[in-house]
Chains A and B, each alone.
Chain A
Amino acid sequence: MTNARKRKLQNIAALSLSALCALIGLGILFAILFDVLKNGARSINWALFTQDPAPPHLAGGGGLKSAFLGQGLLTLAAAALGVPLGILAGTYLAEYGRNRKYAKIVSNLADMAISVPSIVIGTFVYAILVKPWGGFNGWAGAAALAIIILPVIIRTTEEMMAMVPWNLREAAFALGASYHKVIVTVVYRAAAGGIFTGILLAVARVAGETAPLLFTSFNANFFKLSLSGPTPSLTVTIYLYAASPYENWVRMAWAAAFVVTALVLALNILGRALIKYRVKG
């Protein structure tokens, strides 16, 4: 075989291998989606959203109403805690602290905080909000989720505000606005779309979190719309039910997995579409 021919074959082989890799990646994505869809769709029914769990020996009965409510409440509380705090902190980094060493350090630390393993955050919140208060509670779960979204919101806010052209701020200053007015009336407006997208993606991320809830809000079969006691969530329910020996619990876990996956992917696709729309328009 000539050298040129060998190189050509090598070229084809290597490139085919890369295509194969991409196919494997996509194949797995579709395999997961397919399996979740197949098993989930089979188990989804109206009772899933309207009834509380039935004892495992009663085949077919029951639903995850509590888990849906609890998940919603936990996510909402986490967003209510994390979003305003994150926007304010991001504002400091992008505006008042711009070019200061302190702001750069905090910005880098926020970057690192985004990737702290969520189970570590769970153990931390357990130590400060569960152990001293005598038991699992929803507030601890919400706090753990808030700690996860906080750095994401901070960095998004910082980046989106930094993208607002500086001369827009000068124009507002030149009309006699003080800095807080410039930020609140001009910069926030200009950055609103991007910050909103960031919030959407952050919420998508915590909607699928399980590990930090395991040691904080844990789980409860019945739920009275209050965060002061153990609070059920879809993700912890998936974890516990999927590992259980009861066939109808496993089925419910698949149904919950289907709902969570659909929700998270929908939020992600929506967020990406918004980014694309903003970049274009």
Chain B
Amino acid sequence: MDLLEVKNLDFYYGSQKALADVTLNIRRNAITSLIGPSGCGKTTLLRCFNRMHDLYPGNRYAGEIRLQGRNILSKNEDLINLRSSVGMVFQKPTPFPMSVFDNIAYGPRLKGQRNLSFLREKVEKALRQAALWEEVKDRLKENAGGLSGGQQQRLSIARTLAVDPEVILFDESTSALDPISSQKIEDLMTELKKDVTIVAVTHNMQQAARVSDYTALMYLGSLVEYDETEIIFTRPQKKMTEEYVLGRFG
């Protein structure tokens, strides 16, 4: 069984349909890229996985998304619980206005964890996983706003890792960074897939080709093609996919 199974998913912003009949399965411990021109629905789909859309009134889902077999679109789904098993890293770094340590400990503390030695371990582990430990181990008490942009983004990743998620969603998480910082994040994603499953939205096709195992092309709210990354970029089934990856539209 795949970790995430999307079946006949429709999504509406108010009366406007943004996703139409999307069906795809996300493989465990792999990186799946969602690509497509702006407005194609890739970010909309990503934000269905942790039900971020529920923050805003008038949004509506139809169909199913199963996480380990459980339909997370059901009315009874506990969103707080869901979001601690499906983490998200945003386009721009989002350091909270508090110390580096408190940023990483934020998630565990939400779950009621107060034990300081446990938190210390947790913070160190998450920072090591995010390849940030060596750079910040002496600055844990400093405000996280003082870190560089790339460090802040890895901090956001570490903060997500500290709640032990099954899945991490990356929403164009390198687009605001310089090339060297982006490279570090890409390496990190490859490293992380041993422990978690990654779904990444990207504008950058080279990046999708470099890091991901699977790639899905979306267009006008529908899934065009979904396959192993190598197949999508070398011998796609659909004419449209070929034209898109060759840069003829989008």
Contacts and interface: CB of A to CB of B under 8 A. Distances in A.
Query: Are both chains from one complex?
Result: yes
Interface of A: 165, 167-168, 170-178, 181, 185-186, 189-190
Contacts of A165: 94
A21 to B, nearest CB: 43
B94 A177 contact: no
B106 A172 contact: yes
Contacts of A167: 90-92, 94
A176 B81 contact: yes
Given A174-B160, A181-B110, 7 more contacts: A172-B96, A174-B52, A176-B83, A177-B80, A177-B106, A178-B80, A189-B96
B97 A175 contact: no
Nearest to A174: B88
Contact of A171 (B81, B98, B156, B163): B156
12 contacts: A167-B94, A170-B55, A170-B94, A171-B96, A171-B156, A174-B50, A174-B90, A175-B160, A176-B84, A176-B110, A189-B98, A190-B97
B236 interface: no
B221 interface: no
A168 B156 CA distance: 11
B176 to A, nearest CB: 11
Contacts of A178: 80
Size band of the interface chain B makes with A: 20 to 34
B41 interface: no
Contacts of B107: 175-176
Contacts of B160: 174-175
A185 B106 CA distance: 9
A170 B90 contact: yes
A190 B97 CA distance: 6
Main secondary structure of the interface of A (DSSP, over half): helix
Nearest to B160: A175
Given A167-B92, A167-B94, A171-B90, A177 B50 contact: no
Contact of A175 (B55, B98, B106): B106
Contacts of A174: 50, 52, 83, 87-88, 90, 160
Interface in B94-128: 94, 96-98, 106-107, 110-111
Nearest to B156: A171
B159 interface: yes
A165 B91 CA distance: 13
Contact of B110 (A168, A171, A177, A189): A177
Contacts of A177: 80, 106, 110
Contacts of B79: 176
A186 B80 contact: no
A181 B83 CA distance: 14
A181 B50 CA distance: 18
Contacts of A170: 52, 55, 88, 90, 94
A173 B83 contact: yes
A178 B110 CA distance: 9
Nearest to B168: A174
A173 B55 contact: yes
**Most A-side CB within 10 Å, residue of B82, B83, B84, B163:** B83
A175 B83 contact: yes
Nearest to B159: A175
Nearest to A193: B97
B83 to A, nearest CB: 4
A176 B163 contact: yes
A173 B94 CA distance: 12
Contact of A168 (B55, B82, B88, B94): B94
Contacts of A175: 83-84, 87, 106-107, 110, 159-160, 163
